[in-house]
A and B are shown apart, each in its own frame.
Chain A
Amino acid sequence: MNSWPGPENSWEGVDAYFTSANSEGTLIFWTLLVIALLILVTMLAARHESDTANKTK
C-alpha cells in the first residue's frame, strides 16, 4: 500500500490517498493536536463560566 506521492509522481498503485498517509508519526501529531484543541477549548469555556459566576452575585 502506497501513499501520495507514489512512484513517478502519479496515483498508480496509491491506496491511502491523503496528506502524510505514509508517515504514522505525522498522523499521530495531528491527532494529538486535535485532542489538545478540544481539551483547551473546553477548559477555556469552563474558566469563562467560572469568571462569570464570580462576577454575577
Chain B
Amino acid sequence: MSAERASRAGWLFLAPALTLIGVFFFLPVGASLVLSLTNFDIYAVADPRNAQLVGLRNYRELVAAPLFWTALKNTFYFVLVGAPLTVLVALGAALLVNAKLVRLKGFFRTAYFAPYVTTIVAIAIVWRYLYHPRYGLVNAVLATVGIGPIDWLGDARWAMPAIILLVVWRNFGYNMLIFVAGLQRIPTQLYEAAELDGAGWWARFRHITLPQLAPTFLFVGIITAIGFFQLFAEPYVMTQGGPLKSTLSMVLYMYEEGFRWWRLGSAAAIAFVLFVVILAFTLLQLKIQREEP
C-alpha cells in the first residue's frame, strides 16, 4: 500500500469521530475554561454579549463561599469512605467467587454484578423507600438485631452513609469482575510452590495474591475514585443535597449553580476545580503505587 493512500485513508477514517469529539468535547473543554473567567449569568443566557471577562473572580468567590467547602468536604467524605469500601467488598466477593471449591460460579458472578447494570435514578428511588424510617426494609432488618429506627435520609449524620451504602451495593460487582480477571492472571505455580513450602491460606494471600494484584488495585482504585468524584444522581433523587446540605456533592452544586440559577461562569469554575481535584487525586495514586516496593 502506498504511503499516500494510507495517509489519506487514515485521516478519512478518523475524520467523523475526530470532528465530533473536537466540536462536542475538546472545544467545550476550552470554552469552559474561558466561561469560568466570565460573569456569564442569566442575562448572558438571554444575550451572550452581556458576559464580561472578570479574571479569577469566580474562583475567589468560590473560595469565600461556605457552600463550596461543604460540597468539597461532602465529596471527599463520599470518595474516601465509599471508594475503599467498594474496593474491599469487591475483593472479598472476588476471592469467594473465584475459590476453587465453588460451584455455580457463573450464577454468583451474575447475581453480584446485576446491580451495576441498573439505572441509577430508578434504583435511587427504590432505596429511598428501603430507607423509609417506618415502612422501609432496612430499618425492619436492623430492628431484628435491636438497632434503630434510624431516619436515614432525614438525619444529616446518616444521609451520606446511606448514599454510600447504596453506591457500594451498586458498584462492587464491577470491581469484583476486574479482581476476578486479576486473580485468574496469577500463575498457579506460585500457589503450588507455596503450598509445598507449607504456607497457609493467609501467608499465600499476603505474599502471593496481594502483591500480584497490585496493578489491579491501582486500576480499580483510580477508576472507582474518578467515578465517585462525579456523584450526582443519587443525592439529586434521594435528598436534593439535604438534609442541611449534608449530601450536596460538587457536581450537584455545579448543576444547581449552572442550570438552576443560570450562573454559568461560577458553575464552570466549580467544574474546573473538580477536574483539578480528580487529576491531582489520580496522580497521587499513581505516585504512591510507584513508590511502594
Report whether chain A binds chain B: no
